[in-house]
Amino acid sequence: MELELRHLRTVRAIADTGSLTKAAATLGLAQPALSAQLRRIEKALGGTLFERDHTGARATPLGELVLERARVVLPAVSELQAEAVRFANATGPLERFRLGGTHGPLLGGLVDRIATANPAAPVSTYTSWSVDEIAALTIDGRLDFALIGTCGESPPPLAERLVWEVVGVDPVFVMLPEDHPLAGEKELELAALADQCWADVPGDGCFADCFATACARAGFTPVSVYETDTSSVVHLVQVGRAIGLCRATFPPVPGLVTRPLAGAPLSWRHLLGWHPHSPAADAAAGAVAGQTRTAYAEAVSRSPGYAQWLAENPRFGLVS
C-alpha cells in the first residue's frame, strides 16, 4: 500500500483527538473501519504509530516523525489547492471588477465610481450577510475585492491570508421616528432608551454581544432585538415598533432621524480586502482603495448631522 494524503489526515486526526473513537467521529468513519485503516498504515510504514490503552492513543516515536511531516505536507497541499482554484478563477490583467460586500452603505457608491472610471470593464457584485463567506470567495479568486464591516476593533476574517485596509470608522447611531419624544435631542444616552425594542441588520461577528454589553453598562437588558433586513428595520422604526441601530453614514429617510449615542459606545469599521497574490492586488493598492474612500466621503456628506458630529469627534471618520 502506498501512503496517501488521506492516511496522513487519519494519523493527524487520531493525534489531535487522542482517541480512535473521537477521531472516527471527526472523520465520519466507524471505529472498526478506522482501526483497520490504521493497521494498514502502520504496516506500510513498518511500525506502530500509537500506543493505545483505556486512556486513549499516544504517538510513538515513529508516530511523532510521521506527524511532524504531516503537519508540513497537509497545509502545503491545501495551499496548493487554494492557489490552483484562485489561478483558475483569475483573468490575468484586471479587465473586470468582481465586488463582494455585506449589506453596508458603500457598495453602491463604489460600483458607481468604478463603472464611471472603467466604462469598458464589466462590474459585478455579490452580497451576503456573512463576512466569512465574502472573505472565502475572495480567497478562492471568485471575487476581486471584499467590502465589509467589522464591529469595533474585532479582526476581519482570514486576516492572515487577505490584505485588509480600513477605509473609515463610524459610530453606531440610533434611528428614531421624527415624532419620537427624544428625536429633538442632539445626542442620546443609551439608558434613556432602556424600555424600547430594537431592530438591526444581522451579520457575523461580535456586534450583538457588544450591544448587549453596552446596554448592561447602561443598566438594562434590551426588551427585544429584531434582526432583519434594512427595509424591515426602517419599517419597524417608522411604525414605532422599535428603535433602529445603524451606521452613522445611513442615508436620510423621510420621517426618520438618526442620533448619536453619548460616548459612542458602539463603533463600526469599513474595510476593503483583496488577496495579495491576485491580479487585483496592484489595482487595490491605488485606484480601488481611493475610490472606496471617496465613496465613503460621499456617504458622510449625505448626512449633514454626521459631518457636524465628526468635526467634534476626530477619532472617527475617514482613515487616510
pTM of the model as a whole: 0.70
The grid coordinates listed for 112 are 458607481
In this predicted structure, the answer to whether residue 205 has a pLDDT above a threshold of 90 is: no
Q: Given phi > 0 = left and psi -120 to 50 = alpha, else beta, which region is 173?
A: beta
Mark out the alpha helices in the chain (DSSP H runs).
5-17, 20-27, 31-45, 61-89, 107-117, 131-139, 207-217, 230-238, 280-283, 289-301, 304-312
Residue 87's pLDDT is what?
A: 54
Using 50, 70 and 90 to split pLDDT, how confident is the model at 63? Answer: confident
Residue 180's pLDDT is what?
A: 94
Residue 86's pLDDT is what?
A: 55
Residue 30's pLDDT is what?
A: 87
Length of the chain as a residue count: 320
Average pLDDT, integer, range 176-200 = 95
> Judging by DSSP bridges, how do beta strands 267-274 and 163-177 pair with one another?
antiparallel
In this predicted structure, the answer to whether residue 54 has a pLDDT above a threshold of 90 is: no
Average pLDDT, integer, range 282-298 = 85
